Amino acid sequence: MTLLTRREFLAAGLGGFPFFWRKRSLALAGMRFRIVRRGRSDRRYLWIHGDERTARDVLLEHLKTARGTAYLTTSLERTFPLLGGRIDPNRMFSRAGAAKNLRALNPQWTAAQLDAALNRLDRDRERFLRAILPPPGGLLIALHNNARGYSVRDEVPISDRVSLADPDHPNNFMLVTDPADFERLARSSFNVVLQNTAPIDDDGSLSRLAARRGVRYLNIETRLGDAKSQREILKFVTELPR
């Protein structure tokens, strides 16, 4: 192998190495996420359900001015293909939660097929989490939309603390894992629930994983199509202290 001179190295376009090695996408068991980076920040953003387009639009618009790294699903549907079946990506964050979801979505699967899919998820999960989870002190913000009646009322019975400042809009709320964030947000005009204790029934969602690992996590859930509310909440959340 020939050693490149500095001039050749730069001419080859490798002088910009801090950029070329940075990946533009990330995958877990074949499920691909596009990475959008804006400056240096310990803020992470995740858009995980491909059918929740309002959340994607609001997030991409937000990143025109805000700093942070965003991970966006490349699926156009809610679920991802996995080994000939399908999975809800927000149920893949624990083996137990993924098993329940895979059984429901792929009733024709044999026990061996189910095991193969769960093993594949187990093998890739930590590498994926190392990328998307924020550094200590950082914050992970997930954006979701609902259209099928899901609302804060479904979360109230399984939450540690609840503040319903906007009871007329139960579809618009935040779910947080950090008690200090809850304190601040409970003084806002938005609905917020705190879930910071390890759940008895782990559904495999990212919020449950974040609670279990003590990760500072915040989920902004608004009605599909209500970009105005989601934008407003995201702007408010961005001003939370670091």
Looking at residues 85 to 104 of the shown chain, list those that interact with Zn ion (rule: CB under 5 A): none
Of 29-37, 61-69, 126-134, 141-149, which part binds Zn ion (CB under 5 A)?
141-149
CB atoms within 10 A of CB 96: 13
CB closer to Zn ion, 186 vs 218: 218
Q: Pick one of 28, 44, 47, 49: the residue that binds Zn ion (CB under 5 A).
A: 49
Question: Can you give the C-alpha Rg of the chain in angstroms?
Answer: 20
Q: How far is the CB of 18 from Zn ion (least distance, A)?
A: 33
Q: How far is the CB of 175 from Zn ion (least distance, A)?
A: 11
Of 9-17, 41-49, 107-115, 183-191, which part binds Zn ion (CB under 5 A)?
41-49
Of 136-144, 177-185, 190-198, 224-232, which part binds Zn ion (CB under 5 A)?
136-144
Q: How far is the CB of 230 from Zn ion (least distance, A)?
A: 12
**144 binding Zn ion? (CB under 5 A):** yes
Contact call for residues 155 and 193 (beta carbons, < 8 A) = yes
CB closer to Zn ion, 142 vs 186: 142
Place of tokens 């139960």: 170
Backbone dihedral angles phi then psi of residue 145, each to the nearest 5 degrees: -130, 150
**44 binding Zn ion? (CB under 5 A):** no
Helical axes 53-62 vs 227-238, angle rounded to 10°: 40
- The CA–CA distances, whole Å, from 29 to 71, 94, 111, 186 equal 16, 14, 19, 38
Q: 3-state DSSP call for residue 204?
A: coil
Q: Beta partners for 221?
A: 144, 173
CB closer to Zn ion, 144 vs 208: 144
Q: How far is the CB of 135 from Zn ion (least distance, A)?
A: 25
Maximum pairwise Cα distance, the chain: 69
CB closer to Zn ion, 69 vs 146: 146
Q: How far apart are CA 165 and CA 163, in angstroms?
A: 6
Positions in the binding site for Zn ion (CB under 5 A) = 49, 144
